[in-house]
Amino acid sequence: MEVPFIDLDIQYEEIKNEIKPVLENIYKKGDFILGEEVSQFEKEFADYCGVDYGVGVNSGTDSLFLALKAFDIGEGDEVIVPAFTYAASSLAISYTGAKPVFCDIKEDSYNINPELIEEEITDNTKAIMVVHLYGQAADMEPILEVADKHNLKIIEDCAQAHGCLYRGTQIGTNGKEQINTDKERKVGSFGDVGCFSFYPTKNLGSFGDGGMVITKDKEVRDKLRMLRNYGRKDKYHHVDIGYNSRLDTVQAAVLRVKLNYLKEWNDERKKNAKLYNKKLSSVQDVITPTEKEYSRHVYHVYALRIKNDGRDKAVEKLKDNGIGVIIHYPIPLHLQPVYEDLGYKKGDFPVSERIASEVLSLPVYPGIKEEQIDYVVKVIKQIVHSS
């Protein structure tokens, strides 16, 4: 049996009859960049997340970069970011000239450990970039508290967490307004901005690159609109060194159709994750993911941990048996060659380092069949029992 890591054709089959006429219409109108569909999708996606404004941009990476620029973060500034995330999170910080300052994660959620944030704060710290890794919300309540106390911006990297919900227990504040964390709300609506990627394999993916920043702040929205479009205020007045980072109309049209399916697809990911959890619950050396009480996980990634140095062998055996498996991510960011000059060393973030050596991601995409899940489980059991 073959089990690919992801099968996008299953999604396409479900939506193709809706997509084709919409695309045909765009081709005929020739309205390719920042067209009508873009502003409609910006409204619809912001609304879906429970905030007022969305600004469509070129990619998830650019959504983070432009959000940092919108807060004038750059040379001399520091931004706190988890050591265990995809490299795009910290690269976006580096593009601005600011310094990424890494922070360790929690062993159970794989997200930033709120208790460790404060010791990373200096006079130069301007923001915390929170990543909702794998589709599980980071614990926002204590993070909002630290940010409020030190007057820091919160940038949420939601690239893996479209539709994920978070619920705390109290009423927090982010400096300007009260945040009712005791009500369940979508990630991206807690911080100053929420940043999304629509890379094709994300939970909500386009037919190319795409991204969006969502915000409740009209001024931030206006700044982002300017930054994504050559820094211009109107056609010929350039008031800032802006960029070319726009969401194109075709992607927005695809995303508008797919947004209607997001809940169904997220529910399916969750159902698949629960099947794996059940079938793998008592297998030795295997740790299944934990869904925290404050988070409604959307399983962009189903990350399994294999204890006792068994991960690399397991990956090899899964591949040999026709199973698509990926490691998200084998090297924590503080140990990446690109960040050598920041002076971090092995042992600085022990939890990130250990998790990076134990995780592997199994296929969990909407449309995977239960027989395929059973086959993956069977192979995993063979691997651990033969070791």
Ligand X SMILES: *Cc1c(COP(=O)(O)O)cnc(C)c1O
- Segment near ligand X (CB under 6 A); pick from 68-76, 85-93, 250-258, 358-366: 85-93
b vs e for 68-99, b when ≥16 Cβ sit within 10 Å of the residue's Cβ? bbbbebeeebbbbbbbbbbebbbbbbbbbebb
Contact 247, 212 (CB under 8 A): yes
Evaluate the CA torsion angle 133, 102, 62, 70 in order and state its sign: positive
Residue/partner pairs of 333-340 with CB below 8 Å, 24 or more apart: 333/81, 333/83, 333/84, 333/85, 333/87, 333/89, 333/90, 333/100, 333/102, 334/83, 334/102, 336/87, 338/87, 338/94, 339/90, 339/100
Residue 89 contacts ligand X per CB under 6 A: yes
Residue 215 contacts ligand X per CB under 6 A: no
Contact 211, 170 (CB under 8 A): no
**Which is nearer to ligand X, 41 or 199 (by Cβ)?**
199
Site string for ligand X, 126-155 (x = CB under 6 A): -----x------------------------
Please state whether beta strands 78-82 and 125-131 pair in parallel, antiparallel, or not at all (unpaired). Answer: parallel
Residue 11 contacts ligand X per CB under 6 A: no
Largest CA distance in the chain: 69
Site string for ligand X, 57-76 (x = CB under 6 A): --xxx---------------
**Nearest residue to 172 (alpha-carbon basis) of 154, 198, 196, 157:** 154
Q: How far apart are CA 185 and CA 295, in angstroms?
A: 10
Residue 203 contacts ligand X per CB under 6 A: no
- Segment near ligand X (CB under 6 A); pick from 10-18, 48-56, 86-94, 217-225: 86-94
- Segment near ligand X (CB under 6 A); pick from 82-90, 109-117, 122-130, 283-291: 82-90
Contact residue for ligand X among 41, 102, 134, 199 (CB under 6 A): 199
User: 101 in helix, strand or coil?
Assistant: strand
Residue nearest to ligand X (CB): 60
To ligand X, the closest distance from the beta carbon of 201 in angstroms equals 8
Contact residue for ligand X among 53, 84, 86, 134 (CB under 6 A): 86
To ligand X, the closest distance from the beta carbon of 89 in angstroms equals 5
Counting residues that bind ligand X (by CB under 6 A) gives 15
To ligand X, the closest distance from the beta carbon of 59 in angstroms equals 4
Residue 227 contacts ligand X per CB under 6 A: no
Contacts with ligand X by CB under 6 A lie at 59-61, 85-86, 88-89, 131, 157, 159-160, 197, 199, 209, 211
